[in-house]
Chain A
């Protein structure tokens, strides 16, 4: 370690711990935490505004702020996931698989504390790697091209095999559905539209947040309606639920935390891959490497929370590397950072790694501090936040639905995203109801986009003689990891449990989605614009679904003793109908009035018609409506289409 490096480290630390400089990352972290926790406030928009506000600041102050904003946003997205099954950002999706289940099992404090501790360890690891790699970072990043990304995608998809499921065929079929959903939009090479059905809003593809919120949060809301009448509460807080237990669990599973941190850092360094992939790859690895019973994953296994949380936070450090080393942003935070560097006269690349290394360390230390701070605050507020998870379903379902709808509408200001989310919500619920594996769909959907683009690029480069596997050491290492991973899974594969009888209507459900799969495949084959990749995936998906439909039709089924609406009591249909109607009402009336109307109908339907209850419902609906009209009309940073009925008033 040379003197220049040590002096730069010293400069970075001095900048961080200067007075009042230290206040900047502290405030930045708190701003990022608040923005990530509240629905609708996008960190990217907030950062874009702060770029202008900080134009006249000194470069070191600006770096302290933006380092803190990058670090502060990641962890809080997991909190909403753990408590309400709403991923606060797409990176948090893998965290909620077991995080929310832990919370529902009466261990919310443990879950939040474990997430906070794993987050702190993951982020420290990521930053340490970032600092260690600084002298060789440029050569290191260039090792990861399209071939390596394809292999990373295969590695990610191969982890699906480790996740326990009732049927391998169904797991593959659901994976294929995820890959097909990822292709909706436009072809990455030809830009030809695919499965958009003439809708312009779908040309950019299905929004990741809409899919995640729909698939996890809305399907959970539908599930909640099953126990609505008995005002089902989550499990009472158990004696094991404590902050200390959560923190201790991370150290108990220290090697998993470390391995997940390595995965996150590696994924972060590769531009354009992102935290969502980091989370799911780490989740798959957690399941794959688990000793003992793996059936507990998805039902509240602490290892399924620690792995992805450590990974998504470890990726923060790595994701800044391409921006610092080459001026090439590999993530949204990277775009903001490159802009900030340019405005303040800092040149990424060699200057940031030599002459301005002190400023680079200032940024890195701000990131580190903010990661620590979010974890400390997270642990500190865990008991208070945990109380929210003890609320009964009837009190929490409506706010969760409204918060989710607002988050989804905020993505693009389009009602289409809400339709997408509701469709995925129903689909996710039905998969769960009929015992189909659910997680593979999300892993494939998240990986599909970048996997396809890189397959196409790698194929083209290979055909032009520009890609040779044997000249790429990183590709060979990744291939070895994939092979070892598959062998590991095969060795540990548990004996399949005897298949239980199918639930009533299982064959009808399988036939329905098989018909849809065949329809999508036919569209791909009849149109000249679909690539071979798209046709291959769609055809495989259709074939799998048809095979499952045939098998389920022939297999014995349980007696049809369930009430209608597939497990949801008929009397609880009202909230479901209201959820289904919301996009249409928004289209007709606009956001504010629709949310007001939803609140009234949801609260007023609850059984007894009493004047007091009606007045309360009216008061709440008026409040929600007024706030909605004000927020979406004057404050929110989105532009909604004119309500269809407003044309009638003109």
Chain B
């Protein structure tokens, strides 16, 4: 089972992380990085979530390591150009990228049939993980079993297979997707105008985007309540919406829906990580990983992000690598099913 495997391995990784948490940067690495210039690329326009994280991390990384880190936004090609710049970096130009693991993996699969992003780039640390969430219009209740057909607003159709189509199958809801909307604001606007019934965005974004209007975060695509909003129903596992809605159905159907729900939980989350090209030497990458670990676990960063209202949920070192490896394996297993939706 994907989920069990993920839990066990994540726990092991967490232990590894805690062991390494107090390990400060070695003196060799400190002298290796001292005074050097580095770039943290943001593949989005200034002002949003990724930009906030990058601008909070950069000064902390600079203060702790002596690196001179600048933040550069480059949203060209929907983030593809920033990824290429990062991949083309060398030891001379320390270019890091902050991006969602899912987006990177999808881009690589589309552009170069490269499924395993870790063959091309290394993860220096994960800043935050956020599950996806369903935002429903006013008056719609996710527990209402008469809801069997819903229309969702999304950007591109390929982007909707997991969090809309597969999640809908887990809930026993037939979903239709209207693609072409431009970003989370537009998704939620479409829900407010009642031209669609729901949309999916990352949980943190959902909380922000529904703060000032009548749409509501109806479902978090995880297998447990989220600590930021414990009252929001969750998808999978005991107490989840899938099992509640499936009450009274055959065991076979419940098993099928449960499997879909577990796939959604594993695959749909947004994992914000910091990456660097494997073309950079292993020694330099290790030093940067140490520097990033120290920064992500520092009080200074946690204070800075708290001021910005952005949650910090760091995963460093081997734990970050392990989590990404699992995500990639799960994507590989789900590919045949997702390919059916594309047809």
Using CB atoms and an 8 Å cutoff, list the residues of chain A in contact with chain B: 42, 44-45, 47-49, 51-52, 55-56, 138, 142, 145-146, 185-191, 200-204, 207, 271-272, 322, 325-330, 332, 334-336, 338-339, 342-343, 347-352, 411-414, 453-454, 456-457, 460-461, 464, 466-467, 634, 637-639, 641-642
Residues of A contacting B111 with CB < 8 Å? 200
Known: A189-B157, A190-B158, A322-B189. Contact between A639 and B41, CB under 8 A? yes
Enumerate B241-286 residues with CB–CB distance to A below 8 Å: none
Residues of B contacting A191 with CB < 8 Å? 156-159
The smallest C-beta distance from B216 to any residue of chain A, in angstroms, reads 13
8 residue pairs A–B, Cβ–Cβ below 8 Å: A44-B73, A204-B78, A204-B80, A328-B213, A350-B212, A412-B75, A457-B181, A467-B195
Contact of B74 with A639 in the complex, beta carbons under 8 Å? yes
Known: A188-B156, A639-B41. Contact between A457 and B178, CB under 8 A? yes
The smallest C-beta distance from A640 to any residue of chain B, in angstroms, reads 9
- The yes or no answer to B56 lying at the interface (CB within 8 A) is yes
Residues of B contacting A44 with CB < 8 Å? 45-47, 73
Given contacts A44-B46, A325-B212, A348-B211, 9 further A-B contacts (CB under 8 A): A191-B156, A204-B77, A272-B185, A328-B209, A330-B185, A335-B48, A412-B76, A413-B85, A453-B182
- The yes or no answer to B51 lying at the interface (CB within 8 A) is yes
Contact of B309 (CB < 8 Å), options: A48, A343, A349, A637 = A343
Contact of A52 with B55 in the complex, beta carbons under 8 Å? yes
Nearest B residue (CB) for A637: B72
Q: Bound complex: CA of A639 vs CA of B93, how far in Å?
A: 10
- The yes or no answer to B10 lying at the interface (CB within 8 A) is no
- The yes or no answer to B208 lying at the interface (CB within 8 A) is yes
Known: A45-B46, A145-B193, A272-B182. Contact between A642 and B88, CB under 8 A? yes
Residues of A contacting B95 with CB < 8 Å? 639
**Contact residue range for chain B?**
35 or more
Q: Bound complex: CA of A431 vs CA of B29, how far in Å?
A: 59
- The yes or no answer to B61 lying at the interface (CB within 8 A) is no
- The yes or no answer to B151 lying at the interface (CB within 8 A) is yes
Known: A200-B81, A461-B195. Contact between A351 and B178, CB under 8 A? no
Residues of B contacting A272 with CB < 8 Å? 182, 185-186
Contact of B93 with A642 in the complex, beta carbons under 8 Å? yes
Contact of B47 with A464 in the complex, beta carbons under 8 Å? no
Using CB atoms and an 8 Å cutoff, list the residues of chain B in contact with chain A: 37, 39, 41, 45-48, 51-52, 55-56, 70-78, 80-81, 84-85, 88, 90, 92-93, 95, 111, 151, 155-159, 176, 178-182, 185-186, 188-190, 192-193, 195-196, 208-209, 211-213, 307-309
The smallest C-beta distance from B70 to any residue of chain A, in angstroms, reads 7
Nearest A residue (CB) for B342: A190
The smallest C-beta distance from B151 to any residue of chain A, in angstroms, reads 6
Contact of B78 with A203 in the complex, beta carbons under 8 Å? yes
Q: Bound complex: CA of A414 vs CA of B75, how far in Å?
A: 11
Q: A-B pairs with the 8 shortest C-beta distances?
A: A349-B212, A48-B46, A348-B212, A327-B212, A412-B76, A203-B77, A191-B156, A189-B179
Nearest B residue (CB) for A324: B212
Contact of A55 with B307 in the complex, beta carbons under 8 Å? yes
Q: Bound complex: CA of A422 vs CA of B190, how far in Å?
A: 39
Q: Bound complex: CA of A464 vs CA of B179, how far in Å?
A: 13
Contact of A349 with B213 in the complex, beta carbons under 8 Å? yes
Contact of B47 with A201 in the complex, beta carbons under 8 Å? no
Known: A200-B77, A200-B84. Contact between A339 and B156, CB under 8 A? no
Contact of B46 with A47 in the complex, beta carbons under 8 Å? yes
Q: Bound complex: CA of A349 vs CA of B55, how far in Å?
A: 27
Q: Bound complex: CA of A609 vs CA of B129, how far in Å?
A: 65
Q: Bound complex: CA of A203 vs CA of B209, how far in Å?
A: 28
Known: A326-B189, A466-B151. Contact between A347 and B179, CB under 8 A? no
Known: A146-B195, A203-B78, A329-B185. Contact between A188 and B45, CB under 8 A? no
Q: Bound complex: CA of A187 vs CA of B78, how far in Å?
A: 12
Residues of B contacting A461 with CB < 8 Å? 178, 195-196
The smallest C-beta distance from A199 to any residue of chain B, in angstroms, reads 9
Q: Bound complex: CA of A286 vs CA of B127, how far in Å?
A: 52
Q: Bound complex: CA of A639 vs CA of B51, how far in Å?
A: 15
The smallest C-beta distance from B81 to any residue of chain A, in angstroms, reads 6
Q: Bound complex: CA of A409 vs CA of B153, how far in Å?
A: 35
The smallest C-beta distance from B300 to any residue of chain A, in angstroms, reads 13
Nearest A residue (CB) for B95: A639
Contact of A343 with B179 in the complex, beta carbons under 8 Å? no
Nearest B residue (CB) for A450: B182
Nearest A residue (CB) for B90: A642
Known: A191-B156, A328-B189, A330-B185. Contact between A201 and B77, CB under 8 A? yes
Nearest B residue (CB) for A336: B47
Nearest B residue (CB) for A467: B195
Q: Bound complex: CA of A203 vs CA of B110, how far in Å?
A: 12
The smallest C-beta distance from A334 to any residue of chain B, in angstroms, reads 8
The smallest C-beta distance from B50 to any residue of chain A, in angstroms, reads 11
Residues of A contacting B178 with CB < 8 Å? 457, 460-461, 464, 466
Residues of A contacting B181 with CB < 8 Å? 453, 457
Contact of B211 with A639 in the complex, beta carbons under 8 Å? no
Contact of A641 with B158 in the complex, beta carbons under 8 Å? no
Q: Bound complex: CA of A429 vs CA of B85, how far in Å?
A: 33
Contact of A413 (CB < 8 Å), options: B48, B74, B151 = B74
Q: Bound complex: CA of A414 vs CA of B196, how far in Å?
A: 38
Contact of A327 with B211 in the complex, beta carbons under 8 Å? yes
The smallest C-beta distance from B52 to any residue of chain A, in angstroms, reads 7
Q: Bound complex: CA of A95 vs CA of B328, how far in Å?
A: 50
Contact of B195 with A328 in the complex, beta carbons under 8 Å? no
The smallest C-beta distance from A418 to any residue of chain B, in angstroms, reads 13
Q: Bound complex: CA of A454 vs CA of B195, how far in Å?
A: 13
Residues of A contacting B80 with CB < 8 Å? 200, 203-204
The smallest C-beta distance from A450 to any residue of chain B, in angstroms, reads 8
Among B45, B74, B185, B208: residue with most chain A CB under 10 A:
B185
The smallest C-beta distance from B218 to any residue of chain A, in angstroms, reads 18
Q: Bound complex: CA of A456 vs CA of B73, how far in Å?
A: 30
Known: A48-B55, A347-B212. Contact between A335 and B45, CB under 8 A? yes
Contact of B56 with A349 in the complex, beta carbons under 8 Å? no
Contact of A464 with B74 in the complex, beta carbons under 8 Å? no
Among A185, A325, A349, A352: residue with most chain B CB under 10 A:
A349
Contact of B193 (CB < 8 Å), options: A142, A201, A639 = A142
Q: Bound complex: CA of A462 vs CA of B300, how far in Å?
A: 52
The smallest C-beta distance from B90 to any residue of chain A, in angstroms, reads 8
Contact of A466 with B195 in the complex, beta carbons under 8 Å? yes
Residues of B contacting A326 with CB < 8 Å? 188-189, 192, 212-213
Contact of B179 with A460 in the complex, beta carbons under 8 Å? yes
The smallest C-beta distance from B68 to any residue of chain A, in angstroms, reads 9
The smallest C-beta distance from A337 to any residue of chain B, in angstroms, reads 9
Contact of A342 with B208 in the complex, beta carbons under 8 Å? yes
Among A48, A453, A460: residue with most chain B CB under 10 A:
A48
Nearest A residue (CB) for B110: A191
Contact of B72 with A414 in the complex, beta carbons under 8 Å? no
Q: Bound complex: CA of A348 vs CA of B85, how far in Å?
A: 37
Contact of A327 with B209 in the complex, beta carbons under 8 Å? yes
The smallest C-beta distance from A43 to any residue of chain B, in angstroms, reads 9
Contact of B309 with A414 in the complex, beta carbons under 8 Å? no
Q: Bound complex: CA of A232 vs CA of B269, how far in Å?
A: 62
Contact of B308 with A343 in the complex, beta carbons under 8 Å? yes
Contact of A453 (CB < 8 Å), options: B76, B81, B180 = B180
Residues of B contacting A138 with CB < 8 Å? 213
The smallest C-beta distance from B188 to any residue of chain A, in angstroms, reads 6
Residues of B contacting A339 with CB < 8 Å? 47-48, 52
Contact of B47 with A335 in the complex, beta carbons under 8 Å? yes
